[in-house]
């Protein structure tokens, strides 16, 4: 059987296909079919010839096989220094081998490559900082994922995720109506506490257009309410688009470049339609990577920039604290040992390490911040990045990977981990559930709301209301 009903080389493009694949619980049949999925060798080799140019080819060719990348990889370290986890080995034995064999690889090889690409690399790019030649194995693993995806060798959840983006332009089945209704509902629900609070939809020429992660409206809409309250307190002139509000990209994790392009163009179209002065994304690492860092290239923008300045939530928070738009009540600053989880996607790969520290200087009482080792650009992945969190088939490997972050956190003695990234947040939640180290973890928004000074004119007028703590 060259192609299966569930497992095949065709991307998901309709709601029906999506529902059918979702009905295959845990991808049981999907993975069964994958066992006999045929490799289209000619197409594989043709794709490589078209897309594997001098940078990648040189990386593969001049690798000095010195092994300096080994210790840079948290998955190598946490897996008892298994030689098969050396980054150079992982890429040479997958992408390198496919190229050496000119695409002449079989089903078993591709399934193995899939396991390496999605369970032995989170595309954190840390190895790039430790390789004498500057070889970025995370970037190459991303490229390898694209090749595997095009041949149908992709974890079940990510095939679905990419399909979601193709069908709904969101990583979950949140339609435009669902989204707009959620905005209205959240604004309405806050009226007692925050009279006059709005979540303006499709307002043109606003100072800020806000984009988020579909799981926020879908699973915890209070996050959207918190964003609205903070913009309200800061007196920002902001809006959300009715279309193009979803910033994430599971298609990036899947290696479905076409879906990546569709997704990011949807956001850029909203920017062009509403013409905001700038765009602010939510507390998500990969969403920022997809829409701000890589997105411009998928959308064919040679200057590598989105249509309007596009910043991460931590940049807005730092700026609001610096300019006094948000003021922190000194009495409410964090007075317990706290640490910060540096997200690979916007710290190592977008340079916001010091911006995050600036925020902490406002939120944390001096002496209570204990940094992880290593930290900032050198920090280890949370353990669940690059799609690792969401793949059931690789859950045992993911749980093992969480040990790195668990031990880093334990070494700080922190009881609270500030993690302004959905992936990191999930990984830390899961490591607490798995290993019970008795910690709390939080996004910035709820912390800010506990500490921010609310201007008198924004408080409810009724006499009998109590002060928000």
Span interacting with other proteins, options 62-70, 154-162, 323-331, 361-369, rule CB under 8 A: 62-70
Interface residues for other proteins in 331-390 (CB under 8 A)?
A: 348-355, 376-378
Span interacting with other proteins, options 23-31, 81-89, 207-215, 269-277, rule CB under 8 A: 81-89
Smallest Cα–Cα separation from 348: which of 329, 309, 308, 375?
375
The residue (of 144 and 190) whose beta carbon lies closer to other proteins is: 144
At its nearest, how many Å lie between other proteins and the CB of residue 29? 35
- Regarding 223 and contact with other proteins (CB under 8 A), the answer is no
Is there a contact between 255 and 225 (Cβ–Cβ < 8 Å)? Answer: no
Q: Report the 10 Å Cβ neighbour count for 142.
A: 20
- The correct pick among 5, 20, 35, 66 for binding other proteins (CB under 8 A) is 66
The residue (of 55 and 275) whose beta carbon lies closer to other proteins is: 55
At its nearest, how many Å lie between other proteins and the CB of residue 83? 4
- Regarding 316 and contact with other proteins (CB under 8 A), the answer is no
- CB neighbour class for 330 (10 Å; exposed up to 12, middle 13-18, buried from 19): exposed
The residue (of 352 and 424) whose beta carbon lies closer to other proteins is: 352
* Dihedral (CA of 341, 344, 348, 351) sign: negative
Span interacting with other proteins, options 229-237, 248-256, 303-311, 445-453, rule CB under 8 A: 303-311
Query: Site size for other proteins, by CB under 8 A?
Result: 56
At its nearest, how many Å lie between other proteins and the CB of residue 370? 20
The Cα–Cα gap between 249 and 299 comes to 14
Span interacting with other proteins, options 23-31, 82-90, 233-241, 434-442, rule CB under 8 A: 82-90
Interface residues for other proteins in 282-301 (CB under 8 A)?
A: 293-294, 296-297, 300
Interface residues for other proteins in 106-165 (CB under 8 A)?
A: 125, 128-136
Is there a contact between 276 and 209 (Cβ–Cβ < 8 Å)? Answer: yes
At its nearest, how many Å lie between other proteins and the CB of residue 334? 24
Smallest Cα–Cα separation from 74: which of 290, 397, 414, 419?
397
The CA-based angle 324-328-332, given to 5 degrees, is 175
Token pair of 165 as six digits: 């983006």
The Cα–Cα gap between 353 and 374 comes to 12
The Cα–Cα gap between 425 and 421 comes to 6
At its nearest, how many Å lie between other proteins and the CB of residue 349? 5
The Cα–Cα gap between 52 and 35 comes to 27
- Regarding 65 and contact with other proteins (CB under 8 A), the answer is yes
Is there a contact between 235 and 325 (Cβ–Cβ < 8 Å)? Answer: yes
- Regarding 78 and contact with other proteins (CB under 8 A), the answer is no
The Cα–Cα gap between 102 and 91 comes to 15
At its nearest, how many Å lie between other proteins and the CB of residue 19? 33
At its nearest, how many Å lie between other proteins and the CB of residue 342? 12
- Regarding 89 and contact with other proteins (CB under 8 A), the answer is yes
- The correct pick among 58, 175, 191, 336 for binding other proteins (CB under 8 A) is 58
- The correct pick among 302, 367, 413, 466 for binding other proteins (CB under 8 A) is 302
In sequence order, what are the residues at sequence separation of 6 or more whose Cβ sits closer than 8 angstroms to the Cβ of residue 261?
298, 299
Smallest Cα–Cα separation from 442: which of 414, 418, 426, 469?
418
To the nearest 10°, report the CA torsion of 227, 228, 229, 230.
Answer: 50
- CB neighbour class for 41 (10 Å; exposed up to 12, middle 13-18, buried from 19): middle
- The correct pick among 83, 366, 396, 466 for binding other proteins (CB under 8 A) is 83
At its nearest, how many Å lie between other proteins and the CB of residue 394? 22
The residue (of 92 and 389) whose beta carbon lies closer to other proteins is: 92
Residues in the chain: 469
Q: Which residues contact other proteins (rule: CB under 8 A)?
A: 51, 53-55, 57-59, 61-68, 70-72, 76, 81, 83-84, 86, 88-89, 92, 125, 128-136, 293-294, 296-297, 300, 302-305, 348-355, 376-378
């Amino acid at each position: 059987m060259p192609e299966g009903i569930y497992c095949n080389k065709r991307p998901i493009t309709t709601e029906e296909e999506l529902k059918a694949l979702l009905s295959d619980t845990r991808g049981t049949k999907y993975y069964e079919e994958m066992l006999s999925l045929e490799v289209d060798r000619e197409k594989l080799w043709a794709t490589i010839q078209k897309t594997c140019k001098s940078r990648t080819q040189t990386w593969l060719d001049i690798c000095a096989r010195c092994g300096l990348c080994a210790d840079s990889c948290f998955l190598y370290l946490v897996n008892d220094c298994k030689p098969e986890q050396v980054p150079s080995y992982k890429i040479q034995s997958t992408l390198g081998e496919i190229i050496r064999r000119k695409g002449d690889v079989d089903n078993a090889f591709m399934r193995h490559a899939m396991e390496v690409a999605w369970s032995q690399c989170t595309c954190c790019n840390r190895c790039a900082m430790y390789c004498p030649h500057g070889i970025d194995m995370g970037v190459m693993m991303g490229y390898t994922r694209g090749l595997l995806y095009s041949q149908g060798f992709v974890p079940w959840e990510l095939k679905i995720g990419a399909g979601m983006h193709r069908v709904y332009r969101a990583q979950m089945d949140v339609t435009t109506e669902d989204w707009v209704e959620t905005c209205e509902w959240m604004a309405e629900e806050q009226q007692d506490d925050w009279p006059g609070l709005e979540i303006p939809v499709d307002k043109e020429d606003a100072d800020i257009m806000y984009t988020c992660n579909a799981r926020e409206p879908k699973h915890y809409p209070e996050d959207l309410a918190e964003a609205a309250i903070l913009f309200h307190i800061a007196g920002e002139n902001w809006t959300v688009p009715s279309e193009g509000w979803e910033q994430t990209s599971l298609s990036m994790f899947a290696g479905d470049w076409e879906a990546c392009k569709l997704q990011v163009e949807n956001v850029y179209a909203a920017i062009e339609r509403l013409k905001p002065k700038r765009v602010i994304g939510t507390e998500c690492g990969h969403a920022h990577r997809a829409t701000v860092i890589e997105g411009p290239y998928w959308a064919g923008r040679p200057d590598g920039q989105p249509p309007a300045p596009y910043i991460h939530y931590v940049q807005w928070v730092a700026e609001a604290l610096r300019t006094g738009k948000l003021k922190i009540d000194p009495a409410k600053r964090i007075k317990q040992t706290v640490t910060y989880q540096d997200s690979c996607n916007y710290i190592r790969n977008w340079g916001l390490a010091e911006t995050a520290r600036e925020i902490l200087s406002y939120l944390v009482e001096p002496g209570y911040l204990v940094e992880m080792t290593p930290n900032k650009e050198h920090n280890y992945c949370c353990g669940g990045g690059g799609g690792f969190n969401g793949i059931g088939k690789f859950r045992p490997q993911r749980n093992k990977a969480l040990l790195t972050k668990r031990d880093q956190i334990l070494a700080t003695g922190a009881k609270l981990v500030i993690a302004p990234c959905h992936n990191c947040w999930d990984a830390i939640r899961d490591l607490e559930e798995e290993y019970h180290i008795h910690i709390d973890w939080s996004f910035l928004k709820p912390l800010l709301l506990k500490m921010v000074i609310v201007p008198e004119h924004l408080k409810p007028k009724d006499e009998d209301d109590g002060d928000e703590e």
